[in-house]
Structure 1
Amino acid sequence: MMLDKSSNWGRWGQDDERGALNLLTPEVVMAAAGCVREGRVLSLSLPIRGATSSPAPTTVPHLRGRPLPQHFMSVDGGDYAAGTRAIGAGLKMADDALVVTPHGTTTHMDALCHMWSGDRLYNGHSADRVRSYGAGRCGIDKAGPVVARGVLFDVARLKGVPHLGVDDRIGPDDLRACLDEAGIELRPGDVAVLRTGWPLVWKNDGPDAYWAGQPGLSADGGRWLAARDVCMVACDNAAIGGLNEHQLADETLTDDLHMIFLWRHGVYLAEMLWLEELTGEGRADFLFIAAPLDIEGGTASPINPIAVL
């Protein structure tokens, strides 16, 4: 697949593996900290409820068919060890084991090695370095913590609905309207946080309605954000873009949002956020913090995104 003219390949050097996170200079981070006006902190993460310890298939949004988190405790019938351990006089200790496949099952951050075309990853790195033991280039371990200004594009609230419709796609006009209403501009290094409200469908109507498809960002909307030098796009749906009833994207490779962001522009993606508390705050900008686990060669990592108001 050929790159189009809009690309960040080579922008930060031939060896670059961090992509748009290079935009987060000390000056940009300090400016982002200026968004903290109240000092209150909100988590933007869905809970991890292991399939072995609770009825996760009916309580936690996820993509159908994806392996759910497996959470084992050493104090009940789900023991993974030989029970509790005595560690002193009258003291006992419980241990945990957690197995997570992030994509489509929990709040997570995609690495730049998650998707590519042909034989090249982002920035021209060889895809031959992606193996079962991890990616030798562009893994999530290359990202590091994200501390940036978050900008909320609350498209559902803009349209006056609890959540967008299954076939709705967020385009540049919607994004501009959100900024105009808030009276702010998007700056290089910002994290664009998109609210569709779709997790409410799982909560109110059940898994089948959630799996009937999903609203999301359009390809033109994605190009609009990439052109404005965001470092990350985060959304409360499962794939940033929309999904059909088969939980697949309908776009061609040219318009596929993972290709636009991860492969062409080195813009990271965070998916399956919970934004329902944030939308009630009436804040369009805030300090956004997310730290992926340092998984060597990982294609993604669970995260607990934080909004500091």
Structure 2
Amino acid sequence: MTEHTTANGAGTRADNWGRWGDGDERGAANLLTPEAVRTAAGTVREGRVLSLSLPIRGATSSRAPQTVPHLPGRPLPQHFMSVDGADYCAGARRMHGEIGVADDALILSHHGTTTHIDALSHMWRGDTLYNGHPANRVRSYGATRCGIEKAGPIVARGVLFDVAGHLGVPHLDESVRIGADLLRATAQAQDIEMRPGDVAVVRTGWPTVYDTDRARYQAGQPGLTHDGGLWLARHDITAVACDNAGIGALAMDGTFDAGPDEDLHLLLLWKFGIYLVEMVWLEELAATGRHDFLFLAAPLAVEGGTGSAVNPVAVL
């Protein structure tokens, strides 16, 4: 791919291929230099910590997983006890008195079912991953290039684009498409200044629809457009986090309403190496009125993983 930059390396860049070397597999995580992390830590003024994650409710014999927002047709989380606490406790009491212990196991397909981060190996075009790595190395054994373990922890300055709040609604309508103009207007109204290495956090309010109308939630969804994503990417961000299911908008049949040339995952993951954190929970954060904060998200170091469940944290 071809790279175009301004004098300071941002603004008109068409992609990040080759920017950090031909062998790079971390993408925009390279922007998280020690200086950027120290600057991000400077946003902490209160010391208050908020989780931005949806809960994981898994069970083998109940409807508990279905009470959390998710996309249809995806395997729901299964959580069960691998060592039954009651049985073990009974034996332990006979041997040691009042001692109890339990182990558990979790089976999780995180894409579309819970708060997660996409690896750079999650999507590609043709036979090539981000930065020109071969896509034929992504198979059932895992991704030997650009797996989630290459990302490392995301410690960055988070900036909240509360689009729903800017428009004065509890949640956006499913027909709303968040383009560059709407992002600019939100940034101006909420006094947001983007800096290299930031995580752009976009609130639509859409998860709140799930409790009142699950069928509506699982059909179309509001989200970013291609030009909105490109506007963010050209601000040299590390990641985009959004409270909808797929960062980009979904058509009423639940599919992305853009072709390959305007697919938001291909634009951000494949071209720019920008990580996507999907299905975050932003209601408490929005209520604080804060638009800059320390953003923390540490993916599980799953070797060859195309993503990982994650519990993003905002430190105010």
Shorter-chain TM-score category?
A: over 0.9
Matched, 1:94 2:94: no
Matched residue, 2:88 = 84
1:164–1:4 Cα change, 3 Å: farther
d(CA) in 2 for partners of 1:83, 1:18: 46
Matched residue, 2:116 = 108
d(CA) in 1 for partners of 2:3, 2:217: 34
d(CA) in 2 for partners of 1:122, 1:3: 13
d(CA) in 2 for partners of 1:54, 1:294: 30
Structure 1 unaligned residues grouped into runs of 5+: none
Matched residue, 1:273 = 280
d(CA) in 2 for partners of 1:125, 1:116: 10
1:143-172 CA distance string (max 9 Å, x none)? 010000000000000000010011101111
RMSD: 1.7
Percent identity (aligned): 65
Tell me the CA shift for residue 32 of structure 1: 0.4
Matched, 1:147 2:155: yes
Supply the AA of the counterpart residue of 1:47: P
Tell me the CA shift for residue 83 of structure 1: 4.1
Supply the AA of the counterpart residue of 2:250: L
SS at match of 2:202: strand
Q: 2:208 aligns with which of 200, 205, 210?
A: 200
SS at match of 1:241: coil
Tell me the CA shift for residue 57 of structure 1: 5.0
Tell me the CA shift for residue 73 of structure 1: 1.9
1:208–1:283 Cα change, 3 Å: same
8 Å Cα contact 2:66/2:76 also seen in 1: no
SS at match of 1:93: coil
With the length of structure 1 as denominator, give the TM-score of the two structures.
0.94
Q: 1:117 aligns with which of 121, 125, 148?
A: 125
1:163-212 CA distance string (max 9 Å, x none)? 00111011112211222122231001000000000001002x23111112
Q: How does 1:35-114 map to 2 (within 5 A)?
A: 35-52=43-60, 54-74=62-82, 83-84=87-88, 86=91, 89-90=96-97, 91-114=99-122
With the length of structure 2 as denominator, give the TM-score of the two structures.
0.92
Matched, 1:297 2:304: yes
Structure 2 unaligned residues grouped into runs of 5+: 5-13
8 Å Cα contact 1:58/1:207 also seen in 2: no
1:105-162 CA distance string (max 9 Å, x none)? 0000000000001111000001111111110000000001000000000000000001
Q: How does 1:203-222 map to 2 (within 5 A)?
A: 203=211, 205-222=212-229
8 Å Cα contact 1:193/1:235 also seen in 2: yes
1:205-227 CA distance string (max 9 Å, x none)? 23111112100001110010011
Matched residue, 2:271 = 264
SS at match of 1:254: helix
d(CA) in 1 for partners of 2:207, 2:2: 34
8 Å Cα contact 1:58/1:206 also seen in 2: no
SS at match of 1:128: helix
Aligned length: 303
Q: How does 1:24-39 map to 2 (within 5 A)?
A: 24-39=32-47
SS at match of 1:92: coil
8 Å Cα contact 1:70/1:98 also seen in 2: yes
8 Å Cα contact 1:140/1:296 also seen in 2: yes
Matched, 1:244 2:248: no
8 Å Cα contact 2:65/2:77 also seen in 1: no
Supply the AA of the counterpart residue of 2:27: G
SS at match of 1:84: helix
1:226-269 CA distance string (max 9 Å, x none)? 11111000000000001112211010111000000000000000
Tell me the CA shift for residue 3 of structure 1: 6.9
Range with bigger deviation, 181-190 or 48-57: 48-57
Supply the AA of the counterpart residue of 1:60: V
1:14–1:179 Cα change, 3 Å: same
d(CA) in 2 for partners of 1:194, 1:148: 15
Tell me the CA shift for residue 59 of structure 1: 1.1
Q: 2:292 aligns with which of 281, 285, 300?
A: 285
Q: Which runs of 4+ in 1 moved over 3 A?
A: 2-5, 85-88
SS at match of 2:100: strand
d(CA) in 1 for partners of 2:53, 2:86: 32
d(CA) in 2 for partners of 1:189, 1:183: 18
8 Å Cα contact 1:74/1:82 also seen in 2: no
Matched, 1:132 2:145: no
SS at match of 2:19: coil
8 Å Cα contact 1:109/1:269 also seen in 2: yes
1:206–1:73 Cα change, 3 Å: farther
